[in-house]
């Protein structure tokens, strides 16, 4: 197997650093804040054991993701639909993540609704687990999934960031009060 180039570029948006990662096929990961700067280790090595990094903002400009991320953080309704993605995960995870892409800007759904939307109504907890492993937050909007009690549930970047992302989309009625980590 030959070595694969993984491109990266960091943008500062919404007072946070967001690092974009891409393969030749499309965007593979979006990491942020205190998350790893280099997604090395188990995740990356599982999918591309032989890789090298290359800082290259041009790749992301050509993919259109830089403009769309800037628009999103400026408050515009962005779907990311036309951005080439190279989604790495199990078939079930990919199913869930593709389901996330169907949640419209300014819309929230529950884990139960997401499970039903992808045709897996009995898999609410598994859907929740896959949601939490989403490599492309914001792009595949896992922040738009809430608990059935109408409150925020866990988010890799913390509930404050989840609330900020929802507020960018005009969603201000979902609170952290009564947060239940596993209220699917």
Q: What is the DSSP letter of 69?
A: H
In 18-123, which residue ranges form alpha helices assigned H by DSSP?
42-47, 57-63, 65-73, 91-100, 111-117
Contact (Cβ atoms closer than 8 angstroms) between residue 147 and residue 154? no
Q: Which string of DSSP letters, residue by residue, matches 98-154?
A: HHHTTS-TT--EEHHHHHHHTT-TT-HHHHHHHHHT-SSTTTS-GGGEE-TTSS---
Q: Known catalytic residue: 136? A: no
How far apart are the two ends of the chain, measured CA to CA in Å? 41
Structural tokens at position 71: 């628009």
Residue 9's beta-bridge partner residues? 20
> Could you say which of 28, 142, 168, 183 is catalytic?
142
Give the residue numbers marked as catalytic. 142
């Amino acid at each position: 197997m030959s070595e694969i180039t993984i491109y990266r570029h960091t943008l500062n948006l919404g007072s946070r650093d967001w690092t974009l990662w891409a393969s030749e096929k499309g965007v593979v990961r979006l990491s942020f804040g205190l998350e790893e700067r280099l997604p090395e280790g188990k995740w990356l090595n599982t999918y591309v054991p032989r890789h090298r990094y290359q800082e290259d903002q041009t790749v992301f400009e050509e993919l259109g993701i830089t403009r769309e991320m800037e628009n999103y953080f400026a408050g515009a309704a962005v779907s990311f639909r036309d951005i080439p993605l190279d989604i790495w995960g199990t078939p079930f995870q990919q199913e869930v993540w593709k389901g996330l892409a169907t949640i419209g800007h300014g819309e929230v759904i529950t884990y139960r609704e997401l499970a039903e939307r992808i045709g897996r109504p009995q898999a609410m907890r598994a859907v929740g687990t896959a949601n939490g492993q989403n490599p492309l937050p914001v792009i595949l909007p896992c922040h738009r999934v809430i608990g059935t009690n109408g409150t925020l549930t866990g988010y890799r970047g913390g509930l404050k960031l989840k609330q900020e992302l929802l507020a960018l989309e005009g969603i201000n009625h979902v609170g952290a009060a009564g947060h239940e980590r596993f209220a699917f």
